[in-house]
Structure 1
Amino acid sequence: MPSTARCWTPPRAALAAATIFLTGCATAGSDAPPGACPPVVAYSPAEQMRVAEEVAALPEGALIAGWLADYAVLRDQARACQAPHASR
């Protein structure tokens, strides 16, 4: 790996923290019937901070960091699915 490759790699902890904290920003529509959307578990700010700290403590290259990013996408999709039905 060239010596500059590390410079272009975003810090894993920052990426995970941003993913966790930005999951509430999803805005999209869906035509899913009521009740078809999976529930989205709410996490307190304290829980979110603890998770960010735990992710930051993971060893370099830990697979779970990528899985958490996938989970954040699923949460965004579930929120988007629920959005049209929230006002009913």
Structure 2
Amino acid sequence: MKSSTECSRPHLAALMIVMSLLSACATVGSERMTGVCPPVAEYDAGFQTRAAEEVKALPEGSAIVEMLSDYAVMREQARGCAI
């Protein structure tokens, strides 16, 4: 049986990733900026297929799946920004 320290490592790693991503927004004011849209990376079909297979291999309830869902929302928002 794993110790509680070993079990919490993935959660701590995910927390650190999320915190580092969110810290970039901490200094931005609440006013909506216009004309500045982040670039959206394009992935070819082969790469997307590979990523889908890797996601399928993740355990049920994986935090990575939730983070990828958030990333998908951010990509859609960035695409909408350019319109």
TM-score, normalised by the number of residues in structure 2: 0.58
| Percent of matched pairs sharing the same residue | 52
Aligned residue number for residue 33 of structure 1? 34
1:21-55, CA deviations, whole angstroms, 9 ceiling, x for partnerless residues? xxxxxxxxxx9533x00000001111111110000
Q: Which position in structure 1 is the counterpart of 2:69?
A: 69
RMSD (Å), alpha carbons: 1.5
* Deviation beyond 6 Å, 4+ runs, structure 1: none
Q: Is the 8 A contact 1:37 1:82 kept in 2?
A: yes
What is residue 49 of structure 1 aligned with on the other side? 49
Distance in 2, matches of 1:81 and 1:74, equals: 10
Return the offset for 1:59. Answer: 1.0
Task: Extract unaligned runs of 5+ from structure 2.
Answer: 1-31
Aligned residue pairs total 52
1:23 — aligned with what? none
Contact 1:40-1:78 at 8 Å conserved across structures:
yes
Partners in 1 of 2:77 and 2:70 — Cα distance?
A: 11
- Unaligned runs of at least 5 residues, structure 1: 1-30, 84-88
